Amino acid sequence: MKKLSILFSFVLLFSCSAEAQLLKKAKGLLGGKGGFTKEEAADALKEAFIQGTGKGVDLLSQLDGYYGNPEIKIPIPPDAKNVESKLRAIGLGNEVDKAIESLNRAAEDAAVEAKDIFVAAIKGLTINDALNIVSGKQDAGTQFLKGQTTDDLTSKFSPIIKSSLDKVNATKYWSDVMTKYNKLPLVRKVETDLTAYVTQQAIDGLFVMIAKEELNIRQNPAARTSELLKKVFK
């Protein structure tokens, strides 16, 4: 029971031992003596991450997934912050608020598409990848996924966000805001690639949430429940 508990901690990123100790434990504890194989142990790690990323994606793809979360809410683009302050100062804050809300709605529309991309990357984890994640930092799994999926996420998100920006009237709201701003005297015109900006912000927010779920997997035993985990770590 004690041995399985240590293994459970190891595979799910719950150990505080030094890297060399972790790798030494791995060689002994992932040897299949507890009625399961190395592959099953690696699969348990994969399943835990699939659960975590799935939960993160589900949270973001619902209404207010971005807009209602101050930690990842998408703001006015940095090069347009001056636009926001000037328009709010002349009583057009409502127009700015509508534009900000629409940017976040577009991100929420696109977020659901991340799940399949994450699952494909997680299923490709090797035992060596798992060991590197275990011996890495608290967000090692998140960083692995970031490296493996960012290009695919960008390609997948961009056209969806472009379409969604039109669907939720973001393009119109943004155009209205910029038209009003550009009519103000002595201001420098601002041109922002709205699709590229929202795509990047949506992906950044996604990884913020995935990192939180990874930490939850590390620290909360209740977050690690699945049929495979029960078999491997009973």
More confidently predicted of 207 and 82: 207
pLDDT of residue 186: 64
Q: Is residue 8 over pLDDT 50?
A: no
pLDDT tens profile 71-118 = 999 998 887 777 788 788 888 888 889 889 989 999 998 898 888 899
The one-character DSSP state at 225 is -
- Model confidence band, residue 222 (pLDDT cutoffs 50, 70, 90): low
User: Distance between CA atoms of 123 and 136, rounded to whole angstroms?
Assistant: 19
Give exposure, 187-222, as e/b (b: 16+ Cβ within 10 Å): eeebebebbebbbbbbbebbbebbbbbbbbbbeeee
Q: Tell me the pLDDT tens digit for each residue of 135-162.
A: 678 888 889 999 999 999 999 999 988 8
Q: What pLDDT is attached to residue 5?
A: 37
Give the pLDDT confidence of 28-39 residue by residue, as tens digits. 433 434 455 667
Query: Can you give the pLDDT at residue 228?
Result: 57
Token pair recorded at residue 106: 């577009």
Q: Give one word for 91, left, alpha or beta, with left for phi > 0 and alpha for psi -120 to 50.
A: left
Global pTM? 0.73
Which residue did the predictor score with more confidence, 42 or 234?
42
Check residue 147 and give its pLDDT: 92
Decide which of 9 and 106 is more confident. Answer: 106
CA nearest to 87, candidates 181, 171, 174: 181
In whole angstroms, give the CA distance from residue 192 to residue 195.
9
Please name the amino acid found at residue 62: Q
Determine phi and psi for 34, rounding to 5 degrees.
Answer: -95, 20
Predicted local distance difference test score (pLDDT) of residue 175? 76
Percent of the chain with pLDDT over 70: 71
CA 201 from centre of chain: 11
Average pLDDT, the chain: 75
Question: 92 in helix, strand or coil?
Answer: coil
pLDDT band of residue 223 (cuts 50, 70, 90) is low
- 80 or 59, higher pLDDT: 59
pLDDT on residue 56: 86
Task: Report the range of poorest mean pLDDT among 42-46, 153-157, 200-204.
Answer: 42-46
Highest mean pLDDT among 112-116, 131-135, 169-173, 185-189: 112-116
Higher per-residue pLDDT: 7 or 104 = 104
Amino acid identity of 7? L
